[in-house]
Amino acid sequence: MIYLLLSITASTLIFIIFKLFNYYKIDTLQAIVTNYIIACIYGLLSCDASIQLTEIANAKWFYGAFALGFLFIFVFNIMALTAQRNGLSVASVASKMSVIIPIIFGIYVYNESVGTQKILGILLALIAVYLASVKSKTKINFKKNLRFPLLLFIGAGTIDTSIKYLETTYVAENGVPLFSATIFAFAGIIGLSILIFKIAKRDFRFESKNIYGGIILGIVNYYSIIFLLKALNFEGAESSSIFTVNNVAIVMLSCLLGLFFFKERITKKNWLGIGLAIVSIFLVTLA
């Protein structure tokens, strides 16, 4: 499952890049919009066949790609609001525990296998994500502004589920680059609209480093989607297993990289979560 490993690596790199954005004082919104534009261009250049706008507009996945483009921007903003109002721990847990949505979807819609070992692995994965994310000194009030974590949970899970559904139902085997590029194009257009609004309100300051950061993020982000789609498209692979291993491994790897490269403090609960993550991966993959 080389594509799954590459997807985990690329997705983890995204977290590292965001961490470096904060270090180098890069405007996240400008970089995010640039990222979508670069990812779109990169996807179009990766297409083997000639591209025609009429063909894209008539594609069965066209409206789904538009909805996903909107969700990409929407979920990003909700994530920011959740982190600001509820704390980083709540944002992390809400976004990563959303893996349960595509898992349940895969089991019920695609009749994917489910057994005691797999269920145990999924439950351990959810516990692992929580333990690996929470900080012992962080006080969390789940009743305060619950709507933002809930929207983040639903939004992130909906993105994963929609990508899987559209990819398996409407996207041709050689159409993944164009499908991905279209999603990024819509996200970029919506993002540009937000920036234009900020410019009109004179709430905008341009710096070239924001563009450079967005270019790097765009290339990595593009491949994170491509590798995940290829992993989901692998013959014999079940989406419930793919999403579980993918999300849990990203949390585990991010925690370890944070410890060794960014000197972040990892509590005993975090280490327990990392250990449970490893166990859950083995349970799900060997189920």
Range 183-205 average pLDDT? 88
Backbone region of residue 60 per phi and psi (left: phi > 0; alpha: psi in -120 to 50; beta: other values): alpha
Residue with the bigger pLDDT between 17 and 141: it is 17
The three-state DSSP-derived secondary structure of 56-121 is HHHCCCHHHHHHHHHHHHHHHHHHHHHHHHHCHHHHHHHHHHHHHHHHHHHHHHCCCCCCHHHHHH
Instruction: Tell me the C-alpha distance between 105 and 246, whole Å.
Output: 16
Tens digit of each residue's pLDDT (9 = 90 or more) over 111-169? 877 788 878 888 887 887 777 766 655 555 555 556 777 888 889 889 989 988 888 88
Number of neighbouring beta carbons within 10 Å of residue 185: 21
pLDDT for 261-278, tens place per residue?
877 777 888 788 878 878
Give 236: exposed, middle or buried? Use CB within 10 Å, 0-12, 13-18, 19+.
exposed
- Over residues 214-241, the mean pLDDT reads 83
**Confidence band (pLDDT; 50, 70, 90) for 80?**
low
Distance, in Å, from the CA atom of 121 to the CA atom of 208, rounded to the nearest integer, reads 45
